[in-house]
């Protein structure tokens, strides 16, 4: 699970962001220069070298600014974006840039990856509670499908030559363990802000732990709170840098962890 891709990371500029470089002073003055030249040439610009040069210059300056802007946006996202964006997304706030995003998909996007992205980011929030529940279930199923790819061998073989056998890529029917994990996973993504699960989302994401520990259900949300404070919050206080592995989000500040625990997983601390 820790190897999930982060589908929320900005991979491309939205059309608005791409347009915004036109407001850059350098671009503006180049465009003005080109306009003046165009008037001087009486609009017979097609073969004029200086005009062509200006065109090239404007295009490459735009490219440069866009590349810099994307890096800036990605850095900002890495610094502070993940918690906010996944929280907003899970809270079902309408993502109005969805239709304008230019490059979430590339030619080698796997179908499961595409499904993951579509259900996790691009799906609009449901109009009713039932529709919203369906949207979340779709997202979780997409994650489960994607995880199977990550864990299995994509190149069709059951085993890698010489290596240990890998888990089957797609299973005919889910094993009881998978079912239990999935049920636990569903339970830690709250559908209502007042919902209080009894499974620890941090332990659930710990792939190295035995299944029984991961899906352990505390007898009350209060007991989970005690465990959460003692086991997970304390580590951050002591300088550890944990992450929510099921959401794939680093939570290196106490407030981040607490905020994420409460808003996404209904865990009070
Ligand atoms: Zn725990
Ligand atoms: Zn989480």
Q: How far is the CA of 214 from the centre of ligand 1 (A)?
A: 8
pLDDT tens per residue across span 124-182 = 666 666 776 777 777 777 776 666 655 554 444 444 444 444 444 444 567 888 888 88
pTM: 0.41
pLDDT tens per residue across span 42-84 = 777 777 888 889 999 999 999 899 888 888 887 777 666 556 5
pLDDT confidence bin for 93, thresholds 50/70/90: low
- Does the pLDDT value for residue 104 go beyond 70? no
Ligand nearest to the CA of 86: 2
Ligand nearest to the CA of 89: 2
Q: How far is the CA of 187 from the centre of ligand 1 (A)?
A: 14
State the pLDDT at residue 160: 42
Q: How far is CA 5 from CA 146, 157, 217, in A?
A: 9, 23, 28
Q: How far is the CA of 248 from the centre of ligand 2 (A)?
A: 7
Q: How far is the CA of 186 from the centre of ligand 1 (A)?
A: 16
Ligand nearest to the CA of 251: 2
């Amino acid at each position: 699970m820790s190897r999930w891709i982060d589908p929320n990371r900005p991979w491309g500029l939205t059309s608005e962001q791409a347009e915004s470089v036109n407001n850059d002073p350098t671009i503006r003055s180049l465009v003005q220069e080109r306009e003046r030249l165009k008037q001087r040439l009486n609009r017979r610009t097609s073969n004029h070298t200086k005009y062509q040069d200006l065109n090239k210059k404007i295009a490459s300056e735009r490219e440069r600014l866009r590349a810099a802007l994307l890096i800036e946006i990605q850095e900002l996202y890495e610094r502070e974006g993940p918690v906010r964006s996944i929280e907003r997304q899970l809270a079902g706030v309408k993502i109005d840039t969805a239709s304008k995003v230019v490059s979430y998909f590339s030619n080698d996007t796997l179908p499961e990856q595409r499904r993951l992205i579509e259900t996790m980011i691009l799906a609009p929030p449901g109009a009713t509670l039932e529709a919203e529940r369906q949207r979340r279930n779709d997202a979780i199923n997409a994650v489960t499908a994607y995880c199977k790819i990550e864990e299995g061998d994509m190149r069709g073989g059951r085993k890698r030559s010489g290596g240990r056998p890998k888990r089957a890529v797609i299973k005919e029917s889910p094993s009881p363990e998978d079912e239990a994990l999935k049920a636990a996973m569903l339970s830690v993504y709250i559908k209502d802000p007042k919902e209080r699960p009894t499974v620890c989302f941090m332990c659930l994401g710990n792939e190295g732990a035995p299944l029984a520990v991961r899906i352990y259900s505390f007898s009350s949300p209060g007991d989970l709170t005690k465990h959460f404070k003692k086991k997970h919050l304390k580590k951050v206080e002591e300088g550890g840098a944990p992450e929510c592995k099921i959401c794939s989000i680093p939570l290196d500040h106490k407030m981040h962890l607490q905020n994420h625990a409460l808003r996404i997983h209904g865990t009070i601390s």
